[in-house]
Structure 1
Amino acid sequence: MNTTAALIETEYRLGAHNYKPIDVVLARGEGVHVWDTDGKRYLDCLSAYSAVNQGHCHPKILAAMIEQAGKLTLTSRAFRNDQLAHLYEELAALTGSHKILPMNSGAEAVETAVKAVRKWGYEVKGVPEDKAEIIVCTNNFHGRTMGIVGFSTDPDARQGFGPFAPGFRTVLFGDLDSFRDAITENTVAFLIEPIQGEAGVMIPPSGYFTGVRELCTQHGITLILDEIQTGLGRTGRLLAEEHEGIEADMTLIGKALSGGFYPVSAVLSNSEVLGVLKPGQHGSTFGGNPLACAIARAALKALTEEGMIENSATMGDRFQTGLKDIRSNIIKEVRGRGLMLAVELVPEAGGARKYCEALKERGILAKDTHGDTIRIAPPLVITADQVDWGVGQFSDVLTAA
């Protein structure tokens, strides 16, 4: 029963088929590496979609989890716990946030922001009841809830799940004129990813976010940056907004906020927007629980005190340079920022998945996205030797074609 084939068969037979994973069954992880059930080692170039920035099974985060699990795991927010205030203090000091609302998943953070900013629009900005509009971008990915898929432009995410809630306008990602033209007196927010990860690591033109920030300030629009993938060191800065020198009004973080040990997310905001939420209007049984807070505190400490953010910038440049040096006629473009990288292949290559499967055979785990793109996002603890070895595997696979 424990053979790889048997486990895959059971998963296929009993599980919903809402994923199409690469056929490797993982059993152990440490740092940048994972091992399958047969003991084969792989360089993880996905990091659980950037949830494992600190590396697999980081010992200090593990120790914090075990210690807190032996004391107190859950109280609900009906009572206070001795970890939440410390997490608030540390997050505020790190990010400059004035108000923080902890949740569990990234999608819950997005839903929280949507609810809060609509309420702010009615109570503070003066938008007529039920007329608030939030501007979003083409090819966005903010999660899988009903509210979120309603403003997705991905047919796979939307088809068959309607009817959807109104109140969203879609503009072209990276196009400032498109954003400007969509603004109305009822616009309460602009929800956007600094870099679109699921879309294939799409980076907007330089200066775009400076213009966005100016327009939001001019029109009294709340700028919401979804940094659930891009945040916490992935792009070589604590938050990706720092590359453009701007500050969002609301920032959404998750994934690496726990280092992959537990679902933890948070809405970081100014006091004005989150201040509209009163007791009973929003919450979560598990949001802000003591186990989550202790894990998040340890995850943030590891990220900042062990030089992972700086390493992401240095190793990201090294990885991107190495990938760009590969001479292959199937590579259309290499792009990225920090350790958030992508290799886009030409259509004639026949799709990226078969190259991800070939990389798996050579000990690299990467994932295809949007058909022709291989996304690369190893843990931020990767070393120069590991980057060079990884580039070598990519070179062999992509030049062999």
Structure 2
Amino acid sequence: MTSIPQTRAEWYGRPLSDTARDLLDRDAAAFIRQDGSTPCLNAVAKAEGIWLEDVDGRRVMDFHGNSTHHIGYGHPRLKAALKDQIDDLPFTPRRYTSAPAIALAERLIALSPHRGNGKVLFATGGSDAIEIALKLARVKTGRYKTLAFFDSYHGHGYGAVSAGGSGTDRTQRIGPLLPGGLLVPPFNCTACAYGFERPAPGAPPSDACGMMCARMLRYALEREGDIAAVIAEPIRSSPHVPPPGFWPEVRRACDEFGAVLIFDEIPTGLGKTGRLFTSEHQGVTPDITVLGKSLGGGMLPLAAVVADAGFDIAPELSLGHYTHEKNPLTTRAGLTTLQIIEDEGLVDHSRSLGDRTMARLAEMADRNPAIGRAEGAGLLIGVEILGEDGRRSKARADRAMWRAFSLGLNLKSKAGTLVLNPPLTIREAEMERALQIIEEAIA
């Protein structure tokens, strides 16, 4: 296990019950190992609300959840709806449609930024949905090049990997990738790729900066001249929030140079950032919106591509002709999830609790020099963990993450930042307990 970070490797050697150890040994023997997936830390026996419980009965609050658990795990309304759907109609083969699939498509068109002027295709995962979006952009423009950000992630299909900027995915060991995947530095005022000083929270970029990140994207569009699509998360799930005016400027550049604007809202959409769609923060409408992860309610794999109706121009092609394209069970999950989000006021809750959490993190930073600035929107929040030199410390953040895990909180550490990504159903008292764990873990 020499390739595994020390902090993670220590977990593999900790005492476990015979049941847990047996399951982990069987898992390691049965699955092809891959980064972040196998080998595993433990086996889950129960998932309910914001909680995961392992086979030894140990419970942790899940602030990770692969961004699937917006409505919490095992929501009773969703379970009841799926049981009813299984009894009513469990599957629809190709060449047929189903009422749940139509209803979900209609609902997404009505709710999305494409209100009243959209059309939909479904897939079983975000990677497949990104592939559909890329096909639509090629068909619409007659071009094949894409423009994305370094370090971005849009899925694991070859098209998605080729369009994304994740260094661990863009390896020659699985290449060559598809041609035309161009990258520019991302917006990130916390660590500007161009070396400009970070502005105060909520402040516009400095005159010296002139929003260089947007200018560089425009420059690439102009110089290439034949880019099919710009693809990005409108708020990066890292998380990083764009500077004010960034996306309106990019929207204008896309229109000027004929590029399709694709917003990947797979991890951030459906209320996570305090708006139902993350693009609502930006004051722009993309040409294509891609959803996934939480759309299936944390139970079933489901993703959606919502595009302007003007993309419906290639009926002779199979753009996303998947086996479960109009599956009544998965689409019933999506329809019920949207209804739960609306009925329980989870978007407003995400926004209000997120604001209070940011205020609490600022209080914590005032009394603890290891806690830096918090950034994010709604219930997607990143908090910097600082070293003795006052700079972000990946090692310290990683140690804090594993310590928090031992104290009952599962969250992610990324580039010196702890990422808080809880279900939208979390209560304020539970959030307060999580913040106490974080503070203790850092101390």
CA spacing shift, 1:322–1:5, aligned 2, 3 Å: farther
Deviations 1:144-184 (A, max 9, x none): 11222223333311221111111222112221111111114
Q: Which blocks of at least 5 consecutive residues in structure 2 are unaligned?
A: 1-16, 188-212, 387-391
1:348: Cα distance to partner?
4.6
Quick check: 2:154–2:163 contact (8 Å CA) kept in 1? no
Structure 2 counterpart of 1:229, one-letter code: P
Q: How much has 1:281 moved relative to structure 2?
A: 4.7
Instruction: Report the alpha carbon displacement of residue 45 of structure 1 after superposing the two structures with TM.
Output: 0.8
Q: Which residue of 2 aligns with 1:352?
A: 397
Q: CA deviation at 1:309?
A: 0.6
Contact kept in structure 2, 1:77 and 1:289, CA below 8 Å:
no
| Alpha-carbon displacement from aligned partner over 1:189-225 (angstroms, at most 9, x marks no partner) | 211111222xx21222111011112222233321110
Deviates more, 1:84-93 or 1:18-27: 18-27
Aligned CA distance change for structure 1 residues 98 and 153 (closer, same or farther; 3 Å): closer
What is the CA–CA distance in structure 2 between the aligned matches of 1:220 and 1:34, rounded to whole Å?
Answer: 47
1:20 matched to 2:36? The reply is yes
Moved more, 24-33 or 306-315: 24-33
Match of 2:193 in 1: none
- Structure 1 residues 253 and 166: CA distance shift in structure 2, 3 A: same
Q: Structure 1 residue 302: deviation in Å?
A: 0.4
1:26 is matched by which residue type in structure 2?
V
Say yes or no: does 1:142 pair with 2:154: yes
SS for the counterpart of 1:53 is coil
What is the Cα deviation at residue 36 of structure 1? 1.6
Tell whether the 8 Å contact from 1:32 to 1:56 is kept in structure 2 after alignment.
yes
State the alpha-carbon separation in 2 of the partners of residues 147 and 308 from structure 1: 33
Structure 1: how far apart are the matches of 2:152 and 2:352? 28
Match of 1:65 in 2: 82
Q: Please state how far the C-alpha of 1:320 moved relative to its aligned partner.
A: 2.1
Task: Tell me which residue corresponds to 1:161.
Answer: 174
Change in Cα spacing, 1:352 to 1:25, as seen in structure 2 (3 Å) is farther
Q: Secondary structure, in 3 states, of the residue corresponding to 1:325?
A: helix
Instruction: Please tell me whether the aligned partners of residues 353 and 368 of structure 1 are also in contact (alpha carbons under 8 angstroms).
Output: yes
Answer yes or no: is the 8 Å Cα contact 2:50–2:423 preserved in 1. yes
1:7 to 23, 26, 31: 23
One-letter code aligned to 1:230: T
Going from structure 1 to structure 2, the CA distance change for 1:348 and 1:133 (only over 3 Å counts) comes to: closer
Determine which of 339, 347, 351 is the counterpart of 1:309. 347
C-alpha distance in 2, partners of 1:73/1:358? 43
Deviation at 1:277, TM superposition (A): 4.3
CA separation of 1:74 and 1:181: change in aligned 2, threshold 3 A:
same
Alpha-carbon distance in structure 1 between the residues aligned to 2:86 and 2:369? 52
Shift of 1:351: 4.6
Counting matched residue pairs gives: 387
Offset of 1:185 from its aligned partner? 3.0
Please give the residue correspondences for 1:207-286 in structure 2 after superposition, counting only pairs within 5 Å.
Answer: 207-286=245-324
**More displaced stretch, 50-59 vs 218-227:** 218-227
Show structure 1 runs of 5+ residues with no match. 123-130
Partner of 1:33: 51
Residue 361 in structure 1 maps to residue 361 in structure 2: no
Query: Deviations for 1:94-150, whole angstroms, at most 9, x for unmatched residues?
Result: 12151111111000110000011101112xxxxxxxx53221111111011122222
Runs of 4 or more, structure 1, over 4 Å off, are none
Within 2, Cα distance between the matches of 1:269 and 1:172? 26
Are residue 382 (structure 1) and residue 399 (structure 2) matched?
Answer: no
Instruction: Tell me if structure 2 keeps the 8 A contact 1:233–1:309.
Output: yes
Aligned to 1:340: 380
Distance in 1 between the 2:394 and 2:321 partners? 47
1:49 aligns with 2:66: yes
Q: 1:277 to 1:368 in 2, by over 3 A?
A: farther
The answer to whether the 8 Å contact 1:330/1:348 transfers is: no
Q: 1:190 is matched with which residue: 227, 230, 233?
A: 230
Secondary structure of 1:188's match?
strand
Q: Distance in 1 between matches of 2:138 and 2:262?
A: 12
Q: CA deviation at 1:243?
A: 0.9
Secondary structure, in 3 states, of the residue corresponding to 2:342?
Answer: helix
CA contact (8 A) 1:234 1:338 kept: yes
Q: Following the alignment from structure 1 to structure 2, what is the Cα–Cα distance between the partners of residues 383 and 206?
A: 31
Over 3 Å counting, the alpha-carbon distance change for 1:169 and 1:67 in structure 2 is: same
Q: 1:92 aligns with which of 88, 106, 109?
A: 109
TM-superposed CA distance for 1:239, in Å, is: 0.7
Worse overlay, 212-221 or 105-114: 212-221
Change (3 A) 1:196 1:220: same
- CA 1:17 to 1:114, structure 2 compared with 1: closer, same or farther past 3 Å? same
Deviates more, 1:263-272 or 1:94-103: 94-103
Q: Normalising by the residue count of structure 2, what TM-score does the alignment of the two structures yield?
A: 0.83
Distance 1:4 1:353, change over 3 A: farther
Q: Distance in 2 between matches of 1:392 and 1:210?
A: 39
Q: Which moved more, 1:17-26 or 1:75-84?
A: 17-26
Kindly report which structure 2 residues correspond to 1:109-120, keeping only aligned pairs within 5 A, or say none.
109-120=129-140
